[in-house]
Copies of this chain bind each other. A is one copy, B any other.
Amino acid sequence: MSHTRAPLAPERFPDLPPVRGVRAGVGRIGLYKHVRNDLLFAHFPDGASVGGAFTTSSTRSPDVDWCRRALAAGGGKARALVVNAGNSNAFTGAAGAAKNAASAAAACALAGCGPDDVFIAATGVIGQPLPAHTVAEHLPGLWETMTAPDWPSLAAAIATTDTYPKGAGRSVEIDGVTVHLAGIAKGSGMIAPNMATMLVFLFTDAALSPAVTQALISKHVDLTFNTITVDGDTSTSDTLLLFATGASGAPLITDVADPRLAPFETALHEVMLDLALQVVKDGEGAEKLIRIEVQGAHSDASARRIGLSIANSPLLKTAVAGGDANWGRVVMAVGKSGEPIALEKLAIRMGGVWTAREGGAIAYDTAAVDAHFAGRAIDILVDVGLAGGRAVVWTCDLTKRYIEINGDYRS
């Protein structure tokens, strides 16, 4: 992790609830030159249901392929999770597959399970093959030290260019029984749908069937992580997994429409959005969080594409970095999206002040808008005047620091 916390960072890592049915620990493989943990190992002694979402990249890592296959072959059951930072294992061909096979074999020997019960993720540099046992050889020693999860240390062990560890959690009731949910995430660059270029691990002691676990993730990843972008670049390693141990003793939920699930679903959405926004706030070099709401589009999907066209515009993002309420660049980015709009009705509101209406500039309180753009949270609304489609997307500004961070990441 970087030493200087981002200006948008939360004050501190939140207090997360205990999640029963999980043992976890962190260790040091040594993939970084400096002293830091780079390995996370988690064990579900009584198993867990698991659901996931993954990068859509065609150059995705063998680790992503491993998880996708295990999820399908194992019927949505999990026993262990192995994650390393410092080397993403992407674009490593047969060597990458061998690393995963060896890691899984070591985890299976310890947890007494089959390879389809082991989930694997990695983040870091692309294209540098590791010896097959690099990760595996550290698992037996780590196994001995595993305890109830210490969330801040787990979050720190998976970070790369992050400037702070990311966590969020909630406790709610399912049918009168308290269940806990805790999540950790890493990510600060190479952030764009689908999905949002990062590692996210969610743990709950609620009892959910594998189908419910997957359905919840599929629905809420689209409303949270798939609405954020830092640089429009999509990682080869995006992995989000939700593990549900059932150790709370709450009744098993087997239908996603079960009304007893509602408070948990709300909590899950909140935790996922919280983590997604923490990723944007840690966007490399970010000094401002930008919320872009698009309404009046042909459809919700069209609204999201327009929103992402704005959110990924380097010209808009640099204008925000400079405190410049340059709504002309919003017009430009709407236009380049290729989505249908009613230009003669196009309207833009910034910080609550309409700056353009009915396809043209209007007189407005520039002092109020300039004051808004001097702040940390930038609010842009675009009405494209066509129909009822609506979406919210989130991004950060593009600063010189982004270029400093990424100009020589490898050295």
Known: A358-B93, A409-B326. A338 touches B58 (CB 8 A): yes
Evaluate contact between A360 and B410: CB separation under 8 angstroms: no
Per assembly, the copies of the chain total: 2
Evaluate contact between B340 and A58: CB separation under 8 angstroms: yes
Interface residues as binary, A359-376 with B (CB distance below 8 Å gives 1, 0 otherwise): 111000000000000000
What is the interface of chain A mostly: helix, strand, loop, or mixed?
loop
Interface residues as binary, A90-119 with B (CB distance below 8 Å gives 1, 0 otherwise): 111111000000000000000000000000
Which B residue sits closest to A59, measured CB to CB? B335
Name the residue among A340, A356, A398 with the largest chain B CB count within 10 angstroms.
A398
A319 within 8 A of B: yes
Evaluate contact between A356 and B406: CB separation under 8 angstroms: no
Evaluate contact between A91 and B356: CB separation under 8 angstroms: yes
Evaluate contact between A233 and B314: CB separation under 8 angstroms: yes
| Chain B residues whose C-beta falls within 8 Å of the C-beta of A404 in the assembled complex | 400
Known: A56-B338, A58-B339, A332-B236. A315 touches B359 (CB 8 A): no
A189 within 8 A of B: yes
Interface residues as binary, A323-367 with B (CB distance below 8 Å gives 1, 0 otherwise): 110111101111111111101101000000000101111000000
A319: min CB distance to chain B, Å: 6
Known: A361-B129, A406-B314. A346 touches B190 (CB 8 A): no
Using a Cβ–Cβ cut-off of 8 Å, how many residues does chain A contribute to the interface with B? 71
A78 within 8 A of B: no
Interface residues of A in 182-241 (CB under 8 A from B): 189-190, 192, 231-236
Which B residue sits closest to A189, measured CB to CB? B315
A205: min CB distance to chain B, Å: 36
A180: min CB distance to chain B, Å: 36
Interface residues of A in 230-255 (CB under 8 A from B): 231-236
Choice from B95, B233, B328 contacting A333 with Cβ under 8 Å: B233
Known: A92-B360, A321-B403. A126 touches B233 (CB 8 A): no
Evaluate contact between B314 and A344: CB separation under 8 angstroms: no
A143 within 8 A of B: no
Which B residue sits closest to A125, measured CB to CB? B328
Which B residue sits closest to A361, measured CB to CB? B127
Evaluate contact between A336 and B234: CB separation under 8 angstroms: yes
A407 within 8 A of B: yes
A313 within 8 A of B: yes
A153 within 8 A of B: no
A278 within 8 A of B: no
Give 23 A-B contacts (CB < 8 Å), ordered by A residue. Answer: A58-B334, A58-B341, A91-B356, A93-B344, A95-B360, A126-B328, A126-B332, A127-B331, A231-B315, A232-B312, A232-B313, A233-B336, A314-B402, A315-B406, A321-B403, A322-B407, A324-B407, A324-B408, A324-B410, A324-B411, A326-B409, A398-B403, A403-B403
Closest 5 CB pairs of A and B: A322-B407, A126-B328, A59-B335, A57-B335, A93-B360
Partner-B contacts on A (CB < 8 A): 55-60, 90-95, 125-129, 189-190, 192, 231-236, 312-315, 318-319, 321-324, 326-329, 331-341, 343-344, 346, 356, 358-361, 398-400, 402-404, 406-411
